[in-house]
């Protein structure tokens, strides 16, 4: 018990967070040794602010006792950075939380295909549907859904996973006993029953705005992949994606209308090749299934009609008919020639990205697989796939049998 007290005491020292907290712990070895050290030992470490040293010299454990009492009363467990059950996946990030407060089921994250589904609070109906269906499909296929529990995309992702019957984890920006937003009280209870509520903040901590960007590194750290459903040009979703990229996690994004502010961030992630474009659960699963043999399966579902999805979630669905090929927009100013629509290069090149231009020119010589295009153009595979998807949507490229891409237009280089 004293060990836990010292862990809690250490996490409450002023100015001691992130890399600084890790540095102090690594230097002394254990929280007890930090606690019993004197001012001279802190000075030998060097680099500590005067306020931090004064806080370290405060040896009262009263607050730690109160936190432990609250945890016992509320049914909250504690995991410390040195516990065997602490997720190794999270321990390996640059700034792992020293203490995790945990309510709900045990989840062996290191054995699970945990996928974070995140997005804006000001979600559109399209984004809410996409998040719910994607999470449901992933959950049915064996993935553990990780998210926040805010309004908008996070809440939709959590509900989708719960309706599909899978475990879901919500990482909080405040104490587990502080419901935020208040309208999600029942959702908190459902997550604690079907999965887990996790926080690095002790009970009673109000969810201040500054806590959420810090919290986001935990969402990505617990996961093997992050899916951004809707995001503005700036905001917490892109913060989570940034952590995911730093932590070498897989990153995915759901495309949205080009004129929708809530999709600007996700569309740009795809455009820059930082995220793989996804339209259904299988687009995520195919990137992870080899790493989790026996745990994941394909065919969990797509962003089908609301009626079909409602049936699937209720377990009453019949096998759907094959999906019709995706309709694409007609490219501008085309004329027929030699069996293919003809398009003047000068009319379209300025409307395409550098990757799209290079790939479209590469296909002018004939059909090719994605691997062939990677070798021919030296564009990374993730960017090739994103660019090819957008070229299909614009009507410049079609996908033939055998996963071969073919130009849908004949370029006129006049």
State residue 356's pLDDT score.
Answer: 82
State residue 92's pLDDT score.
Answer: 93
What residues form DSSP beta bridges with 411? 343
State residue 315's pLDDT score.
Answer: 41
Residues of the chain with pLDDT under 70: 1-2, 300-340, 346, 349-350, 382, 402, 413-414
State residue 403's pLDDT score.
Answer: 73
pTM as predicted: 0.72
Strand 196-199 and strand 368-369: the pairing is: unpaired
Question: Which domains can be identified in the chain, with CATH numbers?
Answer: 2-66 (1.10.150), 109-314 (3.40.50.450), 334-412 (1.10.10.10)
C-beta of residue 304 within 8 angstroms of C-beta of residue 136: no
Q: In this predicted model, what pLDDT tens digit does every residue of 92-129 receive, in sequence order?
A: 998 899 999 999 999 999 999 999 999 999 999 999 99
290 Cβ neighbours under 8 A, 6+ residues apart: none
State residue 33's pLDDT score.
Answer: 94
State residue 336's pLDDT score.
Answer: 38
State residue 37's pLDDT score.
Answer: 93
Look up residue 233 and give its two tokens. 């040009």
Across 258-291, b (16+ Cβ under 10 Å) vs e yields eeeebbbbbbebbbebbbbbbebbbbbbebbbee
C-beta of residue 173 within 8 angstroms of C-beta of residue 215: yes
Please report how the helices 381-394 and 264-271 are oriented relative to each other, as an axis angle in degrees rounded to 10: 120
Kind plus residue range of the DSSP H or E element containing 368: strand 368-369
Indicate the SS3 state at residue 121. Answer: coil
State residue 386's pLDDT score.
Answer: 73
C-beta of residue 190 within 8 angstroms of C-beta of residue 159: no
State residue 15's pLDDT score.
Answer: 83
What residues form DSSP beta bridges with 344? 412
Residue among 98, 104, 123 at smallest CA distance from 169: 104
How remote is the C-alpha of 411 from its chain's centroid? 39
How remote is the C-alpha of 399 from its chain's centroid? 28
CA distances from 261 to 112, 119, 120 (A): 34, 13, 11
Strand 276-277 and strand 250-253: the pairing is: parallel
State residue 303's pLDDT score.
Answer: 53
């Amino acid at each position: 018990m004293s060990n836990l007290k010292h862990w809690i005491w250490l996490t409450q020292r002023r100015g001691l967070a992130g890399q600084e907290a890790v540095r102090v712990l690594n230097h002394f070895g254990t929280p007890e040794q930090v606690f019993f050290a004197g001012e001279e030992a802190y000075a030998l470490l060097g680099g500590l602010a005067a306020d931090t040293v004064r806080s370290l010299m405060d040896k009262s454990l009263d607050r730690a006792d109160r936190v432990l009492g609250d945890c016992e009363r509320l049914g909250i467990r504690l995991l410390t950075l040195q516990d065997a059950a602490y997720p190794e996946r999270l321990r390996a990030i640059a700034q792992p939380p020293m203490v995790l407060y945990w309510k709900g089921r045990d989840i062996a994250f290191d054995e699970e295909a945990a996928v974070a589904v995140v997005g804006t609070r000001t979600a559109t109906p399209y984004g809410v549907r996409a998040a719910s269906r994607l999470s449901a499909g992933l959950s049915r296929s064996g993935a553990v859904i990780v998210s926040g529990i805010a309004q908008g995309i996070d809440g939709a992702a959590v509900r989708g996973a719960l309706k599909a019957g899978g475990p879901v984890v919500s990482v909080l920006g405040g104490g587990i006993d502080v419901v935020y937003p208040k309208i999600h009280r029942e959702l908190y209870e459902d997550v604690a029953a079907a999965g887990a509520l996790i926080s690095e903040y002790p009970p009673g901590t109000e969810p201040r705005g500054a806590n959420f960007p810090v919290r986001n590194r935990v969402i990505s750290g617990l996961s093997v992949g992050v899916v951004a459903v809707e995001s503005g040009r700036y905001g917490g979703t892109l913060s989570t994606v940034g952590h995911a990229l730093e932590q070498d996690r897989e990153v995915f994004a759901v495309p949205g209308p080009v004129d929708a502010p809530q999709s600007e961030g996700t569309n740009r992630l795809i455009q820059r090749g930082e995220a793989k474009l996804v339209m259904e659960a299988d687009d995520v699963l195919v990137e992870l299934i080899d790493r989790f043999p026996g745990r994941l399966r394909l065919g969990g579902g797509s962003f089908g009609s609301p009626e079909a999805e409602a049936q699937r979630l209720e377990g009453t669905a019949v096998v759907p008919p094959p999906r019709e090929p995706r309709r694409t927009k007609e490219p501008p100013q085309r004329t027929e020639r030699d069996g293919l629509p003809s398009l003047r290069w000068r009319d379209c090149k300025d409307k395409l990205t550098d990757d799209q231009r290079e790939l479209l020119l590469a296909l002018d010589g004939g059909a090719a697989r994605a691997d062939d295009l990677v070798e021919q153009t030296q564009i990374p595979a993730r960017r090739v796939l994103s660019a090819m998807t957008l070229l299909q949507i614009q009507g410049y490229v079609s996908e033939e049998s055998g996963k071969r891409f073919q130009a849908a237009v004949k370029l006129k280089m006049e």
